Structure 1
Amino acid sequence: MTEHLTVVKHPLVQHKLTLMREKDTSTASFRRLLREISLLLAYEITREMELTSKWIETPLQEMKAPILEGKKLALVSILRAGNGLLDGILELIPAARVGFIGLYRDPETLKPVQYYCKVPAELEDRLVIVVDPMLATGNSSVAAIDLLKEKGAKNIRFLCLLAAPEGVARMKEAHPDVPVVTAALDERLNDHGYIVPGLGDAGDRMFGTK
């Protein structure tokens, strides 16, 4: 992937995102829609995965057929909201390795504080897809990718549901080599660091918490 930001305009993605934005959408529906939309976004972010070929036998004859090359890709969820994107992606790529990075945003500084990190081995040989529904200030995403690069990751992509211009700019400044795939680029951040018009707090809406 060459472009830093890809907005997936597919009609099903946009339709499902609209349903998720609506404030009256139930927790169960929000969770289901997030799983469905994550599968569609995963299709886009994996479009340029490298292929090799191997000889197989169909019921009719032998053939040389394409197959994914290299080690299984790694999905890394930024806790806790990133977990909502994992289900859909794992339906598409069930053999993927999965890692977790725990970050919370300090309400005063809006800066990320790390509290957990467990990721697959040999990241340098894997495509690493980092998932978090919201790219808001970009601070958590940048911190997570800093951590993954320290652990050897070289081929990283970032998948989110919504992005704010501020977050995209922050990511491009800190990690210009990491493509971002999202369903929408919204208008701005408000004074509390929330994406506007957005859809509220994705974690709260997904898990039914406040």
Structure 2
Amino acid sequence: MTIEAPAKIKFNNNILIVDDHPFIIEGYKNAITRYKTDEYTFMIDQAKNCETAYDIITNPETAPFDIAFLDISMPPFESKNIFSGEDLAKLLQRYMPNCKIILLTMYTELLKIKTIVKTINPAGLIVKNDLNFEVLIFAIDTIINNKKYYSDSIVRMLELVDADAVEIDVFDKQILFHLSKGTKKSELTHYILLSAGAIERRKKDLMLLLKIESGLDKDLVQEAKAKGLLY
């Protein structure tokens, strides 16, 4: 009598990919569906903007996602205050707390990276310039095995900077300067080449970075001066 070996169990994973470039979504799908096909099967949902992603995530009939790939820079869904992949990540953490989030970004500003790590603590954080097929496969493997994956550029930035150091970019310096001069909120866009929403998000990032619990501009300015970020 011939005894057949038991069929190998495949693990199912529900994946969400959010990116406003269809060819990038296809690249992710191509890599994901080639990963250990004898061990895993993947069900993939996709969205090309924050509104579509919001509808998928908040739909009570949507099965929880195991992994989500989120581009940080996305067309916003302003009526729901969803302006970026970061906001979608926070939404996912609320609706699907066990989902492993991979954020993909073109940002290389230290303040932005440190804020993402602190506020979202993603399972994966990848600078797009680091990304290729092999990196994506390695990131998937690392995260499926319950480890974090940060791409090379992220690791270098975080390793080279003193943990207590505070670094901000030119836009943040402009925001702090005009706040210190008493410029009205409605007039900030006249002096800073950012949208009102972007300025408010940067203010919130600065509040987090400088540990301003009051949320008051005057406290932010005072602490920025104490840290030598504003003279």
Give the TM interval when normalised to the shorter protein: 0.3 to 0.5
Structure with higher strand content: 1
More relative contact order in 1 or in 2 (CA 8 Å, sep 6+)? 1
What TM-score, normalized to structure 1? 0.40
What TM-score, normalized to structure 2? 0.37
Based on CA coordinates, which of the two structures has the bigger radius of gyration? 2
Structure with higher helix content: 2
